[in-house]
Copies of this chain bind each other. A is one copy, B any other.
Amino acid sequence: MPDSAPSTFIIPDRLTIPTIAKRRAASGPLNAGVAAAADVEAFKGRTQHLHKPPAKRWCHRLTDETKARKGSSLKEAARFLETEGLISLGGGLPSSEYCPVEEMTFTVPKVFSTGVVSDETDVITAGKRDLARGVSMFDVETAFQYGQGHGAAQLLRWMVEHTELVHDPPYRDWSCTMTVGSTSAFDMAMRMFTKPGGWILSEEYTFSAMTETAAPMGVRVAAVAMDENGMLPDALDRLLFTWDETVRGGPKPFIVFTVPTGQNPTGWTQPLQRRRGIYAVAQKHDLYILEDEPYYFLQMQPYAGPEAPAVPPPTSHEEFLKSLVPSYLSLDTDGRVMRMDSFSKVIAPGSRVGWITASEEICQRYRTHADLSTQGPSGVSQLMLFKLLEEQWGHCGYLDWLIHIRMEYTTRRNVILDACERYLPKDVVSWNPPAAGMFLWLSVDYKKHPDYRRKSLEDMEDEIFHKIIQYKTLLMKGSWFCPEEGAKPDALFLRATYAAASRDKIQEGIKRLGEAVKDSFGITAEVNGSS
C-alpha cells in the first residue's frame, strides 16, 4: 500500500500512518479468502490498547430479539475447513467459474499531498484471481462470492486503522463492523435497543428519516432543545430528570441519537465543550449514544466574513486531523457510543458501504444480525473501495482527498453565505455560518409577517414555502424536521443546501429566495435591510 513512504505526520503515543505499516508487518500477512472471518483485534495496535478500560456491558438494555440471536450452525462446520487436504462438499458456494466478470477497473483522479486533486487519472484494476496469483490481497473471485456480515477483512482492516488514526477510542474492546449504510445501521440499532411504546432522544430538529424509521417500530422521539452549538446538556438533563412515565406513556429513554457535526437540518456543529457536556449527562443517566456522522469530513475552514480573504488549507495531515472537532467516539471512555461512519458524502452514496464503531459486545450483536439480513455490503462496492482506499490512495491519499473535499465545501459554503449577505432581508431572515456539513438553516422572523396573528405558524410556513416555489426555487420546510409528534414548532425555519447546485445556481437561488421572502413579507426594495 502507498503509505510505506516516510511522512511527517506523527502524533506521539497513538497510531500514525507510518506506524501502520510496522504493525501490519508485525501481525503477518492478511490471508483472507472466501468469506473469511475478520480478527479485528489483530488490526488494532494491540499493546497500545491494553492500558485502556474495558467497555461497559449493555446486556440490560438489549432487546429479546438481539439477545436471542445465535451463531449459525452451518458455520460450526467451517472450522473443519482448516484441516489439511480436506475436500469440502459442505458449503453451498457457487464456483467462481460461473461468475461472468473476469476483470473490473475504476478510473480515479490522482491526488497529491495536502488536498490537491489532479486532472490526471489512474486506472485501478481488479482481476478475477489476483489473490491466487499473489497480485493483490483481494480480487473479483473473493469479493463477488458470499461473504461475512461484517464485510471483507481486507477492507475492514483499513476501516479499523482509519478509525484508530482519527478517533483512537479510549477504551480497550472497541471494534468495527461494516454496514450497508447508516440508514440501515440505525434501523438495526433500533431493533437492538428499543421496544414498541418506547422513546428515544434527539435534537429538536433532526433528520426526518430517523423519526420515520423509529415510528413504525412504535418508538417515539423526544426532542431535546438545541442552540447553534447543538443539543443542550441542561435541556437533556432536565428532560430526563423530569420524565414522567405516565404522561409520556413509556419508560425514561436511554438512547440518544445525535448528528454532532454539520447536523441535518441545522448545519450546526457541537464544539468539544458541548460534546463533553452531553457525554457527562449520558454518564449521569446511563444513556447510550448513537453518533451519526456522515458530515464529519465536511468540516470546513473558518468563515471570516463576506469580503475576507480565503483561509489557506491545512498544510499537513496532522494539522488537518487536529482541525477536526473530536468525535463522541474519541471521548468515549465507557463504551457507550455507537458511531456510524459513511462514505456517502465523501466517495459515493451509491456504494452502500459504511461502518459502525462500538464495543465488541454491540458489534457482535450487529454482525450476527447482518449475517441473517443484509449479509454485509455489496462485494462489488467493497472491492472498489478496497482498490481505491487501500491500494491506490492508502491512508495518506484518503486524507488528501478529504482535504480537497474540505476546501471545496468551504468555497460552496462561502458562496451561499455571500449570496445571503447580499440578497436576503436581514431584518426577517437570520442564520449562523455553518462550520460543517451541507446545510444552511435560515430562521425566518414570522412575527414580522403581515399575516402574523391572523394565520397559524404552520400556514405561514406553507405560504412562504409555496411563495419560494413561485419564484422557482426549492427549500425544505423546517417543520418537516420536527421529530416529536404533536409538538408544534414555535419558530419558522427553512433549510437550504449548498452541496448540490452549481455555484451560479446557488447565488441565483438565494437571490430568488430573497425576492420571495420580500414579496411574502411585503418588503419593498427600498426598505430592504432598514427594518
A269 at the B interface (CB under 8 A)? no
> Given A372-B209, A377-B352, is A475 in contact with B106 using a C-beta cutoff of 8 Å?
no
- Residues of B near A38 (CB, < 8 A) are none
A104 at the B interface (CB under 8 A)? yes
Copies in the complex: 2
Main secondary structure of the interface of A (DSSP, over half): mixed
- Residues of B near A382 (CB, < 8 A) are 350
Interface string of A163-190 (1 = CB under 8 A from B): 0000000000000000011011001000
Can you report 5 A-B residue pairs in the complex whose CB atoms are below 8 A from each other? Answer: A83-B472, A89-B497, A101-B348, A146-B344, A349-B379
Size category, A interface: 35 or more
Q: How far is the CB of A249 from chain B (nearest CB, A)?
A: 16
In the complex, the answer to whether A64 meets B218 with C-beta atoms within 8 Å is yes
Q: Which of B369, B408, B438 contacts A92 (CB 8 A)?
A: B438
State the CA gap A73–B481 with chains docked (Å).
9
Interface string of A495-522 (1 = CB under 8 A from B): 1111111000110111011000000000
Q: How far is the CB of A458 from chain B (nearest CB, A)?
A: 13
> Given A72-B208, A212-B72, A480-B74, is A101 in contact with B94 using a C-beta cutoff of 8 Å?
no
Q: Which of B89, B350, B500 contacts A498 (CB 8 A)?
A: B89
A145 at the B interface (CB under 8 A)? yes
- Residues of B near A196 (CB, < 8 A) are 64
State the CA gap A98–B476 with chains docked (Å).
23
Q: How far is the CB of A402 from chain B (nearest CB, A)?
A: 10
Which B residue sits closest to A188, measured CB to CB?
A: B373
In the complex, the answer to whether B73 meets A208 with C-beta atoms within 8 Å is yes
Interface residues of A in 449-480 (CB under 8 A from B): 469, 472-477, 480
Since A81-B474, A87-B501, A216-B369 are in contact, a sample of 7 more A-B pairs with Cβ atoms closer than 8 Å, ordered by chain A residue number, is A87-B473, A87-B474, A98-B345, A102-B109, A103-B105, A184-B373, A350-B379
